Structure 1
Amino acid sequence: MFCKRFIAIVTVLALFCSIVVTSGRASAETVPAIDVEAGSAILIEANSGKILYQKNADESLAIASMTKMMSEYLVHEAVDKGKLKWDQKVKISEYAHKISQDRSLSNVPLENGGSYTVKELYEAMAIYSANGATIALVEEIAGKEVNFVKMMNDKSKEFGMKDYKFVNSTGLTNQDLKGYHPEGTTLDEKNKMSARDCAILAQRLIQDFPQILNTAKIPKKTFQEGGKYPIDMANFNWMLKGLIKQYEGVDGLKTGTTPEAGDCFTGTVERNGMRLISVVIKAKSHTARFDETKKLYDYGFANFEVKNVYGKDAVVKGHETVRVANAKDKDVVVQTKQAVALPMPKGNNDVYKKEFKVSNKEQEAPIKKGVTISKMIISPKDNIDPGFLSGKSLQIDLVTKSDVEQANWFTRFMRQIGSFFSGMWDSAVDIVKS
């Protein structure tokens, strides 16, 4: 009788364990696989950076005019810091003029020595991928393109990108730059990035300067409308509303095409509160890059949805307090610094685990409200899940809910006395045990 009961208990436990293990891998088993026909590709949820799909995502490849995402970022940063104004006039150099006259490249013709506003040149770059306009902006910001290229590489490092190399500001091959290629670079060099790094750049561009989408989503516009030489500009992002590959919710971002890079596209789309960022590098044709991007978006929206996990200023169950030395109340309440929303497979919310890490440096009162003293680390339960752009896990700052007062001298003294005798007691117990 005992044996039968024992066998039954073991069977139930084994079944329970198999259920627990399965729930940890549910995301991999319930979401169907797709294959994107391109040299490399990635799909992320924009807010968290959660990777939903990847293919050769860390392979460094030529990216052509997707380079201009970094140039756009640095233009916005210069405006934000007051170093540039949208209505500021920019004088066109011989270099920018010569490049702008090459109609085999993406360009709006610029007059040698002529002046155009920063806004006009930026729109030509962002909508029409105009190379001469890009160079004019670059020279206005950095003096020389070589200085701007250093800024591009420095910013990439700051963003935590790993598989990148910028040699010019446009994404053209150096051979296309008519002898003006930046000092220290060679004719056969070209800009390269991985799909992951392109996604990091696109995410930062949208998060830091969301207004970029106001320009990126313009399907058609006339450069210098009403001027002496107006030029009609049609956006190369054919997935925008009203264009031949339109896809509901697409509002950016940047295409790229050269013989070596093939046809590339970094796109972004938002539906039902979920924004996706996609990168496709080395697709088979102009239209294929959009077809493969559609495949990624259909996959993302069909299989995932964003769930609010914690609101801003939320106290996390299981980690409500952190011990702080010399505080009036030794256990200090902490809360989330920002809201936490994560993409999850539809019908399955049990795909993440969390752990907590207190700051390596011991915190000591007094501490102001809103200071980070702990972190919540969120990672997928599934070991083969690709994780986030930042790595296998996402770190959320937990901050002090209110000012942390220092205990008075008498309380601190009595705690030290108590700690001293507690230590003596522990030592005595250890001696007795030995």
Structure 2
Amino acid sequence: MFFSKKVKRAFISLVAVISLASCGVAFTTPVHADATSSYHADQLNLDVKSAIAIDSNSGQILYAKNADKTLPIASMTKLVTVYLTLQAIKNKKLSWDQKVKPTAPIVKVANNTEYSNVPLKMGHSYTIKQLYQATLIESANGAAMLLGQTIAGSQKAFIDQMRQQVKKWGIEDAKIYTACGLPNGNLGKDAYPGINKNAENTMSAKDMAIIGQNLIKDFPEVLNTTKLAHLDFKDNGKTTKMANFNWMLKGLSQYDKAYPVDGLKTGTTDAAGACFIGTVEHSGARLITVVMGARHRDGTDPSRFIQTKKLMNFIFNQYRPITMTAGSQMNGAKTIEVTDGDNATTNLGLKNKTTIWDPADGKTLVAKLDKKSIEAPIVKDQTVGDYQFKSGNEKIVSLSNPNGMNVKAKALSANGKVNFFVRIWRWLFGGR
């Protein structure tokens, strides 16, 4: 037969290709999770137990020190309470002007002058908005508890909701006992049942960064409140002057125009030391930083903010954020081969607007696609794979992937599939 020798050679070649593919070996060297736990920690000496800095949108890790170590988080807990409050409002289970009354255990906590609070009173009514603002600005423990009580019906039920929520974010090592961050026993009758009175909420700096990232992504309006340095809390003709514990805000003692912080939350207990999750816009990107276990000599100690400034200064000097629009093409990965396509290749670009913090190391930032080819047909804007980035030999890593930060790539044009006879022709004589 005329095609017999060519068919035979094609068949042998096909078998060889399949055999090689089935025995393929990846030559990339993985970056283990423990490496990202202390990412560039040797380049900056922070006087804290743990820390992390990430891009708020992509989760790109820019710095980490013991970032996977679980530690007490104190009032940073309230960000989960606030998230569930905003979620309840979005789902119309609560409204901002809805009025609620505190229970006796909540009133007892709210009037303990050893804790940060606004003094809630028995029989008085408070709007959800008042409680939300007090929780974020004054770090009011009673207010946070009353939000949880209103959402879930009891402190225990709300804690269970908090636990479920952080698991949805992939946080598996969290221990949560209170809605406000106080040690369990400090809540009296509202303590989580069956748990030691000294038990405190614990998470890692990485966990807190994930919480901050999701809060800002899903409810960016939270920054309209976290940026407020002062606000009045009014209750039946009495006014309590609230002052934000985030002293890096404009008008407060640690404000510095080089670091125009607009959130998020402090936390302090004897076990936790001084903690702070902060956020700031820089060169069109948003940075989230977390410091945990900073020095806390007394209520006037600014150590956590000093360490946060050191961390932000390091990031600003060591990285240059590059924001690329959807559809932007990446050098080294502008096209992908298309099997059985009308055209042999298809042009690629970014699926979504993306910011990459490029290390200021003088090396070129390059992208690589996670696959070499894709099957036809392809429709325009179809996701076709993931980009991964390097600066020189250094991989760009993220919270979700310690072996590289995945950024979606899309097809910039359609590419149809050729018919059966053309595919047979190409199989016999070559071509895609």
Q: Which runs of 5+ in 2 are unaligned?
A: 1-39
Q: Deviations over 1:218-274 (max 9, x none)?
A: 11111027x423211111111111111112211111111111011111112224334
Q: Deviations over 1:377-422 (max 9, x none)?
A: 2245445x783222231111112335665x5xxx522134336646
Partner of 2:78: helix, strand, or coil? helix
The answer to which of 57-66 and 388-397 deviates more is: 388-397
Q: Does 1:252 align with 2:259?
A: no
User: TM-score under structure 2 normalisation?
Assistant: 0.80
Deviation at 1:72, TM superposition (A): 1.4
Q: Which runs of 5+ in 1 are unaligned?
A: 1-29, 424-434
Partner of 2:6: none
Work out the CA distance in 1 between the residues paired with 2:239 and 2:388. 54
Alignment of 1:67-86 (within 5 A): 67-86=77-96
Partner of 1:399: 410
Work out the CA distance in 1 between the residues paired with 2:158 and 2:376. 43
Candidates 339, 354, 367, aligned match of 2:353: 339
Q: Does 1:278 align with 2:255?
A: no
Work out the CA distance in 2 between the residues paired with 1:299 and 1:117. 42
Q: Does 1:206 align with 2:220?
A: no
Q: Does 1:315 align with 2:325?
A: no
Partner of 2:67: 57
Partner of 1:20: none
Alignment of 1:168-317 (within 5 A): 168-224=178-234, 227-248=236-257, 249-285=260-296, 286-308=301-323, 310-317=324-331
Give, as a single letter, the amino acid of the residue that structure 2 aligns with 1:243.
L
Residues 58 and 163 in structure 1, CA contact (< 8 A), matched pair in contact too: no
Work out the CA distance in 2 between the residues paired with 1:414 and 1:114. 80
Residues 379 and 392 in structure 1, CA contact (< 8 A), matched pair in contact too: no
Partner of 2:370: helix, strand, or coil? strand
Closer, same or farther: CA 138–332 of 1 in aligned 2, 3 Å: same
Closer, same or farther: CA 83–331 of 1 in aligned 2, 3 Å: farther
Work out the CA distance in 2 between the residues paired with 1:146 and 1:349. 52
Candidates 416, 420, 423, aligned match of 1:413: 420
The answer to which of 213-222 and 385-394 deviates more is: 385-394
Closer, same or farther: CA 324–347 of 1 in aligned 2, 3 Å: closer
Work out the CA distance in 1 between the residues paired with 2:241 and 2:143. 15
User: TM-score under structure 1 normalisation?
Assistant: 0.80
Deviation at 1:315, TM superposition (A): 3.4
The answer to which of 272-281 and 121-130 deviates more is: 272-281
Deviation at 1:330, TM superposition (A): 6.3
Task: Indicate the percent of aligned positions where both proteins have the same amino acid.
Answer: 37
Alignment of 1:3-82 (within 5 A): 33-82=43-92
Partner of 1:374: 385
Deviation at 1:213, TM superposition (A): 1.1
Deviation at 1:176, TM superposition (A): 0.4
Partner of 2:124: 114
Aligned length: 384
Work out the CA distance in 1 between the residues paired with 2:155 and 2:408. 38
Candidates 354, 369, 373, aligned match of 1:356: 369
Work out the CA distance in 2 between the residues paired with 1:346 and 1:327. 41
Work out the CA distance in 1 between the residues paired with 2:278 and 2:285. 14
Work out the CA distance in 2 between the residues paired with 1:298 and 1:320. 34
Deviation at 1:372, TM superposition (A): 1.6
Give, as a single letter, the amino acid of the residue that structure 2 aligns with 1:169.
A
Deviation at 1:373, TM superposition (A): 2.2
The answer to which of 128-137 and 98-107 deviates more is: 98-107
Partner of 1:250: helix, strand, or coil? coil
Closer, same or farther: CA 264–324 of 1 in aligned 2, 3 Å: same
Work out the CA distance in 2 between the residues paired with 1:250 and 1:240. 6
